[in-house]
């Protein structure tokens, strides 16, 4: 009887210990250059981080670091070298380094950020993901802003033809 009690007690301790081991929490640190009041932070990054925790039943937590790790143009390297688990960067801040992504900055690519970002992601998956220039990291999102705007003083540009001889 004593032997059975010991085995039962050991099995109970083991059973109580296993859930903690099987569902250990993973914390991913994210390097981000945006202030916590920026719309991309409040409407995209923060809800995404919360959703990661929700869909993993709390097993994965994304911790957005209070300040940027490294320089803004070096966010790819921050992730590739493990200084942060996740980094949000901008390929255009490193001219000539990420050639595959340059097309998205060409004018006339779209008139809405959402549609252009979806097209960007689909293009990446169709043509670049197998031979990605950012092969040292896992690309989890790509997006672009809305159409560029031309800011001038003393000259209004309402169309491409409205530039007639104007030098920017």
CA atoms of 46 and 165, how far apart (whole Å): 45
From first to last of its 168 residues, what are the pLDDT tens digits of the chain? 444 344 333 333 333 344 444 556 899 999 999 999 999 999 999 999 999 999 999 999 999 999 999 999 999 999 999 999 999 988 888 888 888 888 887 777 788 889 989 999 999 999 988 888 888 899 988 888 877 666 677 777 777 676 666 665
The pLDDT score that the predictor gives to residue 49 is: 96
* DSSP designation for 165: T
Nearest to 134 by CA among 96, 87, 98: 98
The pLDDT score that the predictor gives to residue 107 is: 72
φ, ψ for residue 43, nearest 5 deg = -105, -15
Nearest to 88 by CA among 26, 145, 30, 135: 30
* Sign of the C-alpha dihedral computed for residues 12, 14, 16 and 18 taken in this order: negative
If 0-12 CB within 10 Å is exposed, 13-18 middle and 19+ buried, where does residue 76 land?
buried
């Amino acid at each position: 009887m004593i032997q059975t009690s010991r085995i039962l007690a050991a099995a109970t301790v083991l059973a109580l210990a296993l859930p903690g081991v099987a569902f250990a929490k993973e914390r991913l640190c994210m390097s981000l250059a945006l202030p916590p009041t920026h719309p991309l932070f409040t409407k995209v990054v923060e809800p995404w981080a919360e959703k990661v925790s929700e869909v993993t039943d709390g097993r994965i937590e994304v911790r957005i670091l209070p300040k940027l790790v490294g320089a803004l143009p070096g966010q790819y390297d921050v992730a590739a070298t493990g200084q942060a688990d996740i980094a949000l960067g901008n390929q255009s801040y490193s001219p000539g380094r990420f050639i595959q992504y340059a097309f998205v900055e060409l004018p006339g690519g779209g008139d809405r950020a959402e549609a252009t970002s979806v097209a960007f992601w689909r293009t990446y998956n169709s043509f670049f993901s197998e031979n990605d220039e950012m092969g040292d990291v896992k690309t989890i999102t790509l997006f672009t802003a809305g159409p560029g705007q031309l800011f001038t003083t003393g000259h209004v540009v309402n169309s491409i033809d409205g530039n007639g001889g104007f030098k920017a």
